[in-house]
Structures are given as structure tokens and as C-alpha cells.
């Protein structure tokens, strides 16, 4: 893991040094990837250089809310919220044809307004749509701003080794075979991203494609 750690540290250091004016965003859904990234930022004494943002669809798992609090308690950070819940007066979201598209993308655009770079937990192993992910990419959909993927080359095993070695808080649904965790109505247990939008052909919500 030494080489992976060095790559991750280097990428995060570059992100912080290049965007030290506070316009660096980490988008988090409180999954194991973000657990590792936030821990590494803390070890770099760089938490203050990053704006932490989550997108709340109003139908997150209770365990996600618990993990959110654990992040804030462990690292003393504030996680800013972009709302992607159902409009007032309408039923809560019930499927991927609703929030996982236009609503989420609009929330991401608000989260990145004024930012000049962002950090993600994307890994090549997660899905074929992510197999070509690079450690640093130009986000052409957003004017070519840098998109840092410090865990691009990490495997699940690498993540769990780091989490266990350092006693890092993580989302408890990972212990119930949820490899990837989104909204409660459409997420089921499954490896990779198989459990996201279970029973459909959907593999991405639009944030990274």
C-alpha cells in the first residue's frame, strides 16, 4: 500500500497547494472512500483548505445521517448541504427517474459554484464507467477545472486495510454488503455499484458522466 498512499498524499497535497484559497470542494456521501480521504486530509493538516459538501435528497438512509455526524465529530468539520429533495408539496422521491439526474446535477452545480477544483472518491474498480479514471482529470463539463480522484487506483481491500489500521469511522451499511450507498428507496446490497438503482440499467446519477 505504500505506493498507493504516496500517490494519494501527493494528489491531495497538490490539490490543497494549488487551491489554497478555499475554493476546493470535497463532495461526500459518507461512504468508505470519503472516510479514507478525510482522514488523509486531517493527517495533512488540510481540513481547513477544503469545503465539504453533501447532496441531500431527503431520502437518505438513517445510517447515512449517523455517519455524517460521525464525520463531523471525528474531524471537527462542517458538512455543507445542497438540497435535492422533492419540491415542497410533492411526495418524497421513490425512484431513480426522479432525483438521480437533473436534481442531483443541479445540486452539484450549486456546490461547485465559485470552486476552482473538486475532490471525489471515484475508483477504477467501482464500475466499467469509471475504469479509465485518472488521479487528476480536467472536468470539461465545468470549464476544465481540476477533478482530483486520489483513490483512483485503490481496491476495496486497500480501503478496508486503511480503515481498520487507523480506526476510521465508516458507513455501517458497508457491513451489510452494501458496497455503494445512495438513497434508501433505490439502493440494495451488492458488490461494486450493482446495488445502486437495483433492478434498472442505471449505473450513474449524472454527477460524474
Q: What is the CA radius of gyration of the chain?
A: 16
Q: What is the DSSP letter of 103?
A: I
Cβ contacts of residue 52 below 8 Å, gap of 6+? Answer: 25, 26, 28, 38, 71, 77, 78, 79, 80
> What three-state secondary structure class fits 86?
coil
Catalytic (active site) residue 186: no
- What span, in angstroms and rounded, lies between the C-alpha atoms of 175 and 165? 17
Phi, psi of 145 (to 5 degrees): -65, 150
Contact 12, 37 (CB under 8 A): yes
Positive or negative, the CA dihedral 106, 169, 159, 40 is positive
Cα separations in angstroms, 100 against 20, 75, 77, 109, 140: 31, 29, 27, 14, 21
Residues belonging to the active site: 205
Amino acid at each position: 500500500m505504500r505506493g498507493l498512499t504516496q500517490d494519494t498524499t501527493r494528489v491531495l497535497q497538490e490539490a490543497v497547494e494549488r487551491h489554497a484559497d478555499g475554493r476546493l470542494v470535497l463532495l461526500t456521501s459518507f461512504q468508505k472512500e470519503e472516510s479514507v480521504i478525510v482522514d488523509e486530509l486531517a493527517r495533512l493538516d488540510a481540513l481547513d483548505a477544503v469545503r465539504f459538501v453533501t447532496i441531500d435528497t431527503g431520502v437518505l438512509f438513517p445510517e447515512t445521517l449517523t455517519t455524517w455526524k460521525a464525520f463531523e465529530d471525528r474531524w471537527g468539520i462542517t458538512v455543507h448541504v445542497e438540497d435535492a429533495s422533492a419540491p415542497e408539496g410533492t411526495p418524497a422521491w421513490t425512484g431513480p427517474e426522479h432525483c438521480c439526474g437533473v436534481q442531483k446535477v443541479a445540486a452539484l452545480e450549486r456546490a461547485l459554484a465559485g470552486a476552482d477544483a473538486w475532490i471525489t472518491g471515484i475508483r477504477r474498480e467501482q464500475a466499467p464507467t469509471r475504469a479509465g479514471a485518472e488521479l487528476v482529470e480536467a472536468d470539461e463539463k465545468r470549464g476544465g477545472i481540476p477533478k482530483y480522484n486520489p483513490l483512483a487506483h485503490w481496491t476495496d481491500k486497500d480501503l478496508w486495510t486503511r480503515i481498520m489500521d487507523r480506526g476510521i469511522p465508516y458507513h455501517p451499511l458497508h457491513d451489510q454488503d452494501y458496497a455503494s450507498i445512495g438513497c434508501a428507496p433505490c439502493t440494495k446490497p451488492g458488490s461494486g455499484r450493482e446495488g445502486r438503482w437495483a433492478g434498472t440499467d442505471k449505473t450513474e446519477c449524472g454527477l460524474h458522466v
